[in-house]
Amino acid sequence: MLTRGYITCGVPYVLFGLAKGLLGDFTKGDPLPGRSGKNAEVPYNWTVHTPKSGVEIASFNCLECHAGRFNGELVVGLGEADLDFTDVPMGALVDNLPILDIFPGGVIGEINKFVERYKAVGPKIKMLTVGTNPADMLAVALAAHHNSDTLAWSDDPLLFPPEIMAPVDTPPWWRVHKKHGVFYNGMNRGDHRGR
């Protein structure tokens, strides 16, 4: 979960130092003890890996929302109750892209992918209040851009879900095994997920 690339969209690692300045709170965390190589150098909520494009990227991992501070100490699995989605910081990154023309093809390809994804979902996950989390609506926004048979990405939405925001709170992971269903809608009862 903290070393593999299950999110295939991210910031090319060669640019991560630059992106860090533009991603604000999302990149301010310390490295997580116990990780090795480049993962030992990036904040706990990012993972460095190489997707099919062959370009090494840093992408968010689950700890973006699922690691919080208690008495000043980072607790893996605790929901980050004060995460701020009121100003989606990827906007600053996207607006500052022209300088990136100097980078070679594969890197540009990864950046374009990141920007396309951001443009599609960024505005839909902006919250009114610090501490409310858009994860469920992020899933809906991403689903609207994937072909339901092939899962291929489409820049244009293929579905038009209602323009509503259902804010959620990130629960601690250690309660999951005591639950009959997870998430606000109590889903994953007895199917292949979350048993």
Residues 119-158 touching ligand HEC, rule: CB under 6 A, are: 133, 135-136, 138
Sign of the CA dihedral running 59, 193, 116, 25? negative
Residues 22-81 touching ligand HEC, rule: CB under 6 A, are: 60, 62, 64-66
Could you tell me if 32 and 2 are in contact, meaning their C-beta atoms sit under 8 angstroms apart?
yes
Least separation in angstroms between CB 83 and ligand HEC: 7
> Order of strands, edge to edge, in the sheet holding 46-49?
11-12, 57-60, 46-49
Strand segments, DSSP code E, in 10-66 are 11-12, 46-49, 57-60
Judged by CB under 6 A, the stretch of 47-55, 112-120, 150-158, 176-184 that binds ligand HEC is 176-184
The DSSP bridge partners found for residue 11 are 58
Identity at 27, one-letter amino acid code = T
Among 87, 96, 184, 189, binds ligand HEC (CB under 6 A): 184
- Note whether 117 binds ligand HEC by CB under 6 A: no
DSSP 8-state symbol, 23: S
- Note whether 175 binds ligand HEC by CB under 6 A: yes
Our CB check for ligand HEC shows the closer of 2 and 108 to be 2
Q: List interacting residues with ligand HEC (CB under 6 A).
A: 60, 62, 64-66, 133, 135-136, 138, 168, 170-171, 175-176, 179, 182-184
